[in-house]
Amino acid sequence: MTAAGRPQNHGLSIGAVLAQLRGDFPDVTISKIRFLEAEGLVTPGRTPSGYRQFAAADVERLRFVLAAQRDHYLPLKVIKEQLDAADSGAEPAAALPRPPRRLVPIDVTAENVGLPVADDFTAGKELRLTQEELLEQAGIDAPALAELQQYGLVRPGPAGFFDPDAVLVARTVKAMTEFGIEPRHLRAFRAAADREVGLLEQIVTPVYRHRDPEAKSRADELVRELAALSVTLHTLLVKAGIRGVAGC
């Protein structure tokens, strides 16, 4: 993967690049792309007036970086070393699989809306993160993490480790603070999530208690389906509420 051979004209604007990446990486922002550029992970060309022009190779490079962060939890320093090695013709970086869409369209009406599906809740091999690793990957400091824990937004496991979702929660809260929202304002989100989980637990617990060998498999499938439906309903209700606020 290399940034060489970039055409100087007819490149993509940063907005067009964002539109291409959003399908696989719903959380990516223009600020994130600019940050990756500042860190030397991608070097788009420039028009005479100074506007960025991204080539197709730049977009694939960004996909590599974002997938490495999200799916492999690699620090940017390691990702940059892999890319630099590939650019210099050294042993190529291990190919990362092109990420699947985390949110897939469900055509419930005439419009396609990106909503979660049951497979998004499939438990894989859990990666345990130390506090230091969480702070690095989330881009926050220890006092900020302490505040997230104080209001129940991030919770370590029994052994004191964090799971990868804690990184995403921390990043999301950090983004919301830029709008003047503080962690203490988000306690209602934690309470609402706990109520939803409690409801699902009431439904699936009797299935887990069955003694036949397939009971656990059925219960696991049931909880994934219900979780996807729960998040879908929450998303649609928020969308409906926002339309009312915005007068749409």
Query: How many other C-beta atoms can be found within 10 angstroms of the C-beta atom of residue 225?
Result: 14
Provide mean pLDDT across the span 61-77.
87
Distance set, CA 110 to CA 83, 106, 239, 246 (Å): 42, 10, 16, 22
CATH code given to domain 14-87: 1.10.1660.10
The one-letter amino acid code at 91 reads E
Question: Residue 54 contacts by C-beta under 8 Å, 6 or more apart in sequence?
Answer: 11, 12, 13, 14, 16, 17, 42, 44, 45
Give span(s): CATH 1.10.1660.10, the chain.
Answer: 14-87
For the 118-246 domain, the top CATH level (class) is mainly alpha
pLDDT digits (tens, 9 = 90+) for 127-166: 788 999 999 999 999 999 999 999 999 999 888 899 888 9
Higher-pLDDT residue of 79 and 94 is 79
Rg over CA atoms, the chain:
21
- At 173, the pLDDT band (50, 70, 90 cuts) reads very high
pLDDT digits (tens, 9 = 90+) for 11-30: 899 989 999 999 889 888 88
- Could you tell me what percentage of the chain is helix, strand and coil, using 3-state DSSP and rounding each to the nearest 5? 55, 5, 40
- At 91, the pLDDT band (50, 70, 90 cuts) reads low
| pTM of the predicted structure, to 2 decimals | 0.49
DSSP state of 248: -
